[in-house]
Structure 1
Amino acid sequence: MTIKLAADDRYKGVVHPGAVGKVFRLERYLPEPDLAPFVEYFWLVAWQLPQGVVHVQRTLPSPCIHVVFDNGRSGVFGVMTGAFEYTLRDSGRVLGTRFRPGAFRGFLGGPVQSITDRELPLSALFDCDDAEAERAVLGAHDDAGTVAAASAILRRAMPPNDPQIERIGGIFQAIKEHPDVTQVQQLADRLDISVRRLQMLFKDYVGASPKWVIRRNRLLDAADQLANGTDVDLAALAQALGYYDQAHFTTDFEKLVGKPPADYRRSCKEST
């Protein structure tokens, strides 16, 4: 049985979240208990656009591995360090599996950084034929059937539980709960671990550096505030995120989101 996630925090990471429900449908479902130690949630995007209408959707990167079932483009996606754009036209749907940070190492059987910014076929890690797996998942009649078919494929390669997953989950929770942590040394001090050990742990299990994860979380928080119309002082926000000045913050934000902070806030207001 699949359980739809609550609305809170559902669209964080989606650039121009006002498109959700208007241009496409986005659902997120919790995994069954046996997959819960590894899978954070399944996400499903479905759309049906009028002929000739095209929508390019941008999504911000996450420090998580995704297994995606997409017509002709299914695969295992390592941590992508840049924003991702997907062109929607006609009709279709895509199902993705977002793994918990650190939880894919057992499936991969080696350091997760080895697939950062890379894509692998499903058959490289799961006992399946790529085309057959894609048809089984995307050919299901409803959301529940789609998630069930994907879950069955994941179970073919499910590794033993790894206590490091919970440890990494605690580190990510600390990053989330302490926005004042903007430097790797601050995080290491809070966790009572050396910077070197922290970096090696992230290289092995996460696929991105602690510095990248901290900065990405802070930029994601900023984008979320601006997208939801929060009256934010951009200079104060840049300082709170640990930037030397507003100009450097603006450069990083535009590179990730596609627009400077002020322009992004304005465009989100106009689209609501």
Structure 2
Amino acid sequence: MRDRRGVLTPPEAGFRLERHAPAPDLAGLIDFHWHVAWDLAPGAEHVQGVLPFPCVNLGAGSDGLFVHGPITRRDDRTLRGRGHALGTRIAAGLFPTIAYDNLEAHRTTDRILTFGEAFGPDGERLAVRLPDAGAPPAHRALVEDLMRRRAAARPPDPQALLANRVVVAILAEPTVARVADVAARHALSPRALQRLFRRYVGLTPKQVLQRSRLHEAVERVTAGDGTGADLAFDLGYADQAHFANAFREATGRSPSRYGRGPYTVAR
């Protein structure tokens, strides 16, 4: 899988991102597995930005085990020397269906959970085994075994599936800018949509709409597709200045400077 959407300006050398499809029986629950590795020159460092999707990610890497809830802002990591991370992205809206003790998505927002907090005794057992998994395929197999056990423990949740469909629709059509329009398309009131997202997604509908537009903006700017004015109009921003400010806040660079030279954190 070559899609790098959400990853902001990786270094030109010494950085590798791979994405792998899950087992067919888990395709509805897992978006993909990912593997990031870096090997930078001595003394070099790179601040790697990620504009995350509205999803929970879990895995292990140079900094240890992690279960990251959905993030409201850009996630910046300073890379030095050599390191790696292996992770799994759970499909938007579906984490509560496999979480321990009815953990709702909003309780994970901007948080790093332990495997036990996220998945209970099943997660604690995985946390013991995962650091010694070895090669990435063995790591993925252990994670998928956990996903299967957690999914089998509960019947399908129609509301979670609805939340997932709404998020997928938003991501597929980034030019939609109004929460009311999204709600109407799915026969919901705006308030009902907000409650659905609070429980199952962990970000508000407005935040997911904004993230989708910015993902699309980054892709188009990277491809040189249109001027700032064109992009502002196509993506539903009030004007070019509004678009440029949103882009700069999200990526750390203006549209005209994005992708030029090392990525740095906006201060």
Same fold by TM-score greater than 0.5: yes
Q: Secondary structure at the match of 2:53?
A: coil
Alignment CA distance shift 1:181-1:239 (3 Å): same
Structure 2 residue aligned with 1:145: 138
Does the Cα contact within 8 Å between 1:37 and 1:103 map onto a contact in 2? no
Indicate the larger mover: 218-227 or 238-247.
238-247
1: distance between equivalents of 2:148 and 2:225?
46
Kept in 1, the 8 Å contact 2:109–2:202? The answer is yes
1:117 equivalenced with 2:117 (yes/no): no
Deviation of 1:266 after TM superposition, in Å, equals 4.4
Counterpart in 2 of 1:101? 92
State the secondary structure of the residue aligned to 2:46: strand
TM-score relative to the length of structure 2: 0.86
Query: Following the alignment from structure 1 to structure 2, what is the Cα–Cα distance between the partners of residues 32 and 96?
Result: 15
Most deviating of 199-208 and 51-60? 51-60
The alignment's C-alpha RMSD in Å is 2.4
In the alignment, which residue of structure 1 is the partner of 2:30?
39
Q: Report the number of matched residues.
A: 257
The worse-fitting range, judged by mean Cα deviation, of 207-216 and 150-159 is 150-159
In structure 1, runs of 5+ residues without a counterpart are: none
Aligned 8 A contact 1:68 1:95 in 2: yes
- Conservation of the 8 A alpha-carbon contact between 1:64 and 1:101: yes
CA-to-aligned-CA distance 1:88-119 (integer Å, 9 cap, x gap): 22222211110101110123313211111111
Counterpart contact for 2:9–2:259, Cα < 8 Å = no
1:59 aligns with 2:39: no
Map of 1:237 onto structure 2: 231
How far off its partner does 1:215 sit?
A: 1.0
Q: Report how far residue 242 of structure 1 moved.
A: 2.0
Q: Provide the C-alpha distance between the structure 2 equivalents of 1:180 and 1:256, rounded to a whole number of angstroms.
A: 17
Match of 1:254, SS state, is helix
How far apart are the structure 2 equivalents of 1:157 and 1:179? 32
Counterpart of 1:166 in structure 2 is 161
Corresponding residue of 2:254: 260
- Extract unaligned runs of 5+ from structure 2: 263-267
Q: 1:145 to 1:259 in 2, by over 3 A?
A: same
Greater shift, 172-181 or 26-35, is seen at: 172-181
Of 188, 192, 199, the residue aligned with 1:193 is 188
Asked whether 1:223 is paired with 2:214, we answer no
**Is 1:14 the equivalent of 2:40?**
no
For residue 128 of structure 1, report the CA deviation from its aligned partner: 5.8
Structure 1-normalised TM-score? 0.84
Q: 1:66, 1:76 within 8 Å by CA — same for their partners in 2?
A: yes
Letter in 1 for 2:234: A
> Residues 123 and 146 of structure 2 are in contact (CA less than 8 Å); yes or no, is this contact kept in structure 1?
no
- The 2-side partners of 1:192 and 1:155 are apart by 31
Cα distance, 1:255 vs. partner?
A: 1.0
Counterpart-to-counterpart distance in 2, 1:142 and 1:112: 31
- Partners of 1:136 and 1:88 in 2: how far apart? 26
The answer (yes or no) to whether the contact 2:56–2:92 under 8 Å persists in 1 is: yes
